[in-house]
Structures are given as C-alpha cells and as structure tokens.
C-alpha cells in the first residue's frame, strides 16, 4: 500500500488555531450574555415589585391598613387574595439567590421603626448578588436603595400611584 501525503484530517496547529478562535469568541460573548441574563432577572424583579405594589394598593383601598411585617420569603397572607400566586417569594428568579421580604416598619404608636432608612413600607430583596442589585438600580427609576443587612428595598406607599 502506498500512503498519500495528503491524508484527511487536521494538523495540530490547525486544531489549536480553531480552539484559540473559539476561546476568543467565548470571551467576547460571555460578558454580553451575562449582562443580558442580569437584565432579564432585574426586569423580572421589577415586574414582581409592580405586581406586589398593585396588590398592596387594592388591599389598602379595601382595608385602609397595610399588611404587618413578615420575614424574608414569606408572602403576607393579607395580600394572597390580591396576588393570586403571581409572585414567588422564595428565589423568584431561579438561581439568583434572592428572597422577597414585605416590610412594614411602622410601630404601633405610628413612629418609624427604622427612621434612618426613610422606608415605612416596602418590598425588600434579601441577596448577596450585588451585580443583580446594580442592574436593578440601572433599569428601575423609582425609589430603591440599600436598607439593612443584605436588604435592598423598593419603597412603597399604597396611597401613591
């Protein structure tokens, strides 16, 4: 048998060049993809906030009061009929590692519980995902700020629209 010098296949150099090109393209695409994922997560959180806000407005109009304070991941039972299961309070955006937390920081005497936060009623995100918080801050144009611990709070006032 006579072997031909032009056998089918790739040389090691050709394979390395292709792998290098794929690596370069992946390094370019990954930050763009990650940014788009964060933006989608931020939009989901903002949408959930607006859903909770609408439910709160309806609840306030019906009862002339606000739901009491609850711990992270707990949907206020008072809002359950208004939300109808539309919001997942525990890890609402998959692997983003966040919990929603309804805040009612008004004491029985009417004074602010945490006056330095300038928040009386709000929906907090309890998270360590600083990139998600930064993206929410870029996308959302309403009152949203760091409050306590790992909480970042959307400020709600049911009487405003």
In contact, 107 and 113? CB cutoff 8 Å: yes
Q: Flag the least confident range among 82-86, 108-112, 113-117.
A: 113-117
Going through the chain in order, the beta strands assigned E by DSSP cover: 98-104, 121-127, 144-146, 151-156
In contact, 140 and 42? CB cutoff 8 Å: yes
The DSSP string of 65-99 is S-PPP--TT---GGGHHHHTT---SBSTTGGG-EE
Q: Is residue 131 part of a domain?
A: yes
Q: Is residue 85 part of a domain?
A: yes
In contact, 56 and 66? CB cutoff 8 Å: yes
Q: Is residue 161 part of a domain?
A: no
Domain total of the chain: 1
Q: Is residue 5 part of a domain?
A: no
Q: Which residues pair with 104 in a beta bridge?
A: 121
Distance separating alpha carbons of residues 66 and 44, to the nearest angstrom: 24
> Domain range for residue 116?
12-156
Residue 160 has a pLDDT of: 38
Residue 158 has a pLDDT of: 44
Per-residue pLDDT reduced to its tens digit, 32-88:
888 999 999 999 999 999 999 999 999 999 999 999 988 888 999 999 999 998 998
Q: Is residue 139 part of a domain?
A: yes
Q: Is residue 81 part of a domain?
A: yes
Q: Is residue 76 part of a domain?
A: yes
In contact, 101 and 70? CB cutoff 8 Å: yes
Residue 144 has a pLDDT of: 78
Q: Is residue 90 part of a domain?
A: yes
Q: Which residues pair with 102 in a beta bridge?
A: 123
């Amino acid at each position: 048998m006579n072997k031909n010098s032009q056998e089918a296949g790739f040389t090691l150099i050709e394979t390395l060049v292709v792998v290098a090109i794929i690596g370069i393209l992946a390094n370019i695409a990954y930050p763009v993809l990650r940014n788009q994922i964060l933006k989608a997560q931020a939009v989901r959180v903002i949408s959930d906030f607006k859903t909770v806000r609408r439910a709160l407005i309806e609840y306030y109009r019906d009862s002339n009061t606000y739901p009491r304070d609850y711990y992270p991941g707990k949907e206020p039972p008072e809002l359950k009929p208004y939300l109808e299961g539309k919001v997942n309070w525990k890890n609402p955006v998959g692997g983003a590692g966040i919990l929603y937390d309804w805040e009612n920081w008004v004491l029985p005497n009417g004074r602010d519980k945490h006056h330095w936060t300038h928040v009386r009623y709000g929906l907090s995100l309890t998270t360590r995902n600083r990139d998600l918080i930064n993206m929410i801050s870029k996308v959302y144009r309403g009152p949203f700020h760091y409050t306590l611990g790992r909480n970042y709070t959307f400020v709600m006032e049911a009487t405003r629209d």
